[in-house]
Amino acid sequence: MGGYGALKFGLKSPGTFAFAASLSGALAAPSWTEKDLKDPGAARDSVLSVYGPAGSETRKANDIFEIVRTITANRVAGLPYLYLDCGTADGLFTPNQQFAALLHEKKIPHEYRELPGDHNWAYWDQQVQEVLKIAAQKMHSAPSRVPRKRI
């Protein structure tokens, strides 16, 4: 869950990062319940063991939709630039679309792209080059986040 994790850490640590990106992120994972995760396997077991039961404090604390809903206007300036994209045939497409709409509503600087593709390496190989270009641009133009000592 790299894309979800990148966005979560960027949102929870204002002032620390200049850029955070997600390709096909499992952005709604903390809200998934046993009913949503019908197929047994590693993903199901991981989600249920990491977040605990539905309604748990762990789920609330790690729900990036909820984190964004509670961000105040004065905290927006310290957030990293967020980039997310998702393939239109990806099973995670709808939550990515919804998260981008929430970022837009909260006026959080971001870029969202939806492109033909699925949740697979062919899609990610295509997109990673673009993400790296955008990251380089954003990090080059971002103010330094490292405190400097005055002598």
User: Residue 38: what pLDDT?
Assistant: 73
Least confident of 24-38, 74-88, 95-109: 24-38
Ramachandran angles phi, psi of 87, nearest 5°? -70, 145
User: Residue 24: what pLDDT?
Assistant: 96
The per-residue DSSP string of 83-101 comes to EEEEETTSTTHHHHHHHHH
**pLDDT average, residue stretch 95-109:** 97
Rg (CA), the chain: 16
Q: Please give the model's pTM, rounded to 2 decimal places.
A: 0.87
User: Residue 32: what pLDDT?
Assistant: 87
Condensed to tens digits (0 to 9), the pLDDT of residues 17-75 reads 999 999 999 999 999 887 777 776 667 778 888 988 888 999 999 999 999 999 998 89
Whether residue 131 contacts residue 139, with contact meaning beta carbons closer than 8 Å, is answered with no
Least confident of 73-77, 124-128, 131-135, 137-141: 137-141
Q: What angle do CA 2, 49, 99 make, to 5 degrees?
A: 40
Helix or strand (DSSP H, E) at 121: helix 121-141
Report d(CA 138, CA 140) in Å as an integer: 5
- Domains of the chain plus CATH, in order, are 2-141 (3.40.50.1820)
Contacts of 23 (CB under 8 A, 6+ apart): 3, 84, 85, 86, 123, 124, 127, 128, 131
Report d(CA 84, CA 69) in Å as an integer: 18
**pLDDT average, residue stretch 125-139:** 93
